[in-house]
Structure 1
Amino acid sequence: MYLKTKFVFCVICMVLLLPALCASQDISTYTSRATYYGSRNCNGSPSGACGYGEFGRTVNDGIVTGVSKLYRNGTGCVRCTSSQYCSEDAVHVVVIDYGEGDKTDFILSSRAYTRLARPGNKAAKELLVRGVIDVEYRRVSCHYPGYNLMFKVHEQSKYPNYLALVVLYAEGINDITAVELYLENFKQWRGMRRAFGAVWEMSNQVPSGSTKLRFQVSGNKWVESKNDLPASWNAGAEYDSDIQL
């Protein structure tokens, strides 16, 4: 998402929205309000509603946000407007969580919130004192320079009864709308169910052996990972697809 305060920021969950909030072709500008939450290191939270875990705490240098009505179960992206203390420069933020405030659509990390201020401690402190600011936002494409699309085995996965995957570093303007695994014993692709946010799950028919996987993005386009999910997958492990969307 892209906010400007005139603030401008970009939000993804995904997405999130890993799947990310960065997903539609809509470039309209909207108005809302934003506030912030405090954390000791000013970063995001590893326990957000998108299922990103540690990725959600540090992605985008902690320039992240929780969103309310824009959440869409963890998929989507945004931009921001306010006072003399607000910067004209763009700030890109990543959506990692669901959150509700006092008539606010965005609950930013304090690191993201203070980036909306003009240079200098005075402006940043003034925005923090205000607590809630008017913003203008719109969705924009997501970019993760140097990263391929990654898939992480969620920590709650337990072989051979339950497999959950978290999709990370999904670039561009598209949502991931489906994830499928190729079941060699059935000679067919079998869809995973979206559990929440960026988390996709499969139970009972968890494949054994090295497994192909593919991702469907907005517009019904399928992209197959160049690397398989290994037979010896481990809960918490991340694997590189060697592709981008």
Structure 2
Amino acid sequence: MASSSLLTLAASLALLSLFTLSTCFDPTAINYSTSAVALNWNMGSATWYGSPTGAGADDNGGGCGFKNVNLPPFNSMTSCGNHNLFKGGKGCGSCYLVKCTGHPACSGSPSHITIADLCDGGICLDAPYHFDMAGTAFGSMAYPGRANDLRHAGRLAIDFARVPCQYPGRTISFHVEQGSNPNYLAVLIEYEDGEGDLNMVEIMESNSRNWVQMKESWGAIYRLDTNRPLHAPFSIQMTDDKNRKLVARNVIPVNWRPNTFYRSVVQYS
């Protein structure tokens, strides 16, 4: 009887510990080096630009069209990618783990970064894969207190691995770009979970049942040009490079305005 009670108590404590762990779990602090079974590490090179503790681009944006990359969820952990990483804009928003070991200030621990801009020409053509990182991102590969030492090193050899993006608590967002009007709609797409690049973006008007393919304008911005007024609300269908389709229905409302974010209720799982 006593042994049975002890077993029951042990099981209860184990269950309680699971609940305690779940309340402390922070989905934004996932360590991909330990949570992933196997990562495909590759060799590349890295430099940095902009303010030592900044987000890279002076406008806190970049060639992908993202806004305020100095703020969450990007938190200045962004990078320009050369053509093999930027992929003509399809690499915008791709997530990578990066780490360095060849300098005394390198911690060897991976940092999570997002491609937000294009590095074109010069040093970006010297290696098959080159990351020109924001100062904050570059310094994050260092031991605590040694970020400046690492930044003074200039160019580094690094290891990198593609990983799924994760934006806990966020759904896919659509920003109607400045200059959009009744006959022209340009939309920036942000915060897609997963590791698939978008292969196609389509739009459906409220007075139609047909999907119309949008043109890739630049970066992560897609547009539709017409010779007639468009009929809102608009639904947007995204297809990634794994042929997974996701529809944000009526995500852009009737009374849409340029320079405005509209958040969907959908996300790649």
TM-score interval, normalised by the smaller of the two chains:
0.7 to 0.9
Conservation of the 8 A alpha-carbon contact between 2:82 and 2:119: yes
CA distance in 1, matches of 2:110, 2:53: 22
Match of 1:97 among 99, 104, 117: 117
Deviation at 1:65, TM superposition (A): 0.5
Deviation at 1:183, TM superposition (A): 2.9
More displaced 10-residue stretch of structure 1: 55-64 or 167-176 = 55-64
Aligned counterparts, 1:9-20, within 5 A: none
Conservation of the 8 A alpha-carbon contact between 1:31 and 1:80: no
Deviation at 1:30, TM superposition (A): 1.4
Match of 2:194 among 161, 172, 178: 172
Conservation of the 8 A alpha-carbon contact between 1:35 and 1:108: yes
Deviation at 1:228, TM superposition (A): 2.6
SS across alignment from 1:239: strand
Superposition CA RMSD, Å: 2.4
Deviation at 1:185, TM superposition (A): 3.5
Structure with the bigger percentage of helix: 2
Over residues 197-224 of structure 1, what are the superposed CA-to-partner deviations in whole Å (9 max), with x where a residue is unaligned?
Answer: 2100001155223122221122222111
Q: Name the amino acid aligned to 1:228.
A: V
Q: What residue number does 2:135 align with?
A: 110
Indicate how the Cα distance of structure 1 residues 40 and 32 shifts in structure 2: closer, same or farther if over 3 A, else same.
Answer: closer
1:42 correspondence with 2:54: yes
Deviation at 1:230, TM superposition (A): 0.6
SS across alignment from 2:252: coil
The structure whose Rg is larger is 2
Higher relative contact order, chain-length normalized (CA < 8 Å, sep 6+): 1
Gapped runs of 5+ residues in structure 1? 1-7, 11-25
More displaced 10-residue stretch of structure 1: 208-217 or 41-50 = 41-50
Q: Name the amino acid aligned to 1:192.
A: M
Q: What residue number does 1:13 align with?
A: none
CA distance in 2, matches of 1:40, 1:215: 36
Q: What residue number does 1:233 align with?
A: 256
The alignment's TM-score, normalised by the length of structure 2, stands at 0.74
Match of 1:66 among 80, 91, 94: 80
Indicate how the Cα distance of structure 1 residues 28 and 206 shifts in structure 2: closer, same or farther if over 3 A, else same.
Answer: farther
Gapped runs of 5+ residues in structure 2? 1-30
Deviation at 1:169, TM superposition (A): 0.6
1:83 correspondence with 2:103: yes
CA distance in 1, matches of 2:221, 2:77: 21
Aligned residues: 219
The alignment's TM-score, normalised by the length of structure 1, stands at 0.81
CA distance in 1, matches of 2:149, 2:52: 19
Runs ≥4 in structure 1, deviation > 6 angstroms? none
- Sequence identity of aligned pairs in percent? 26
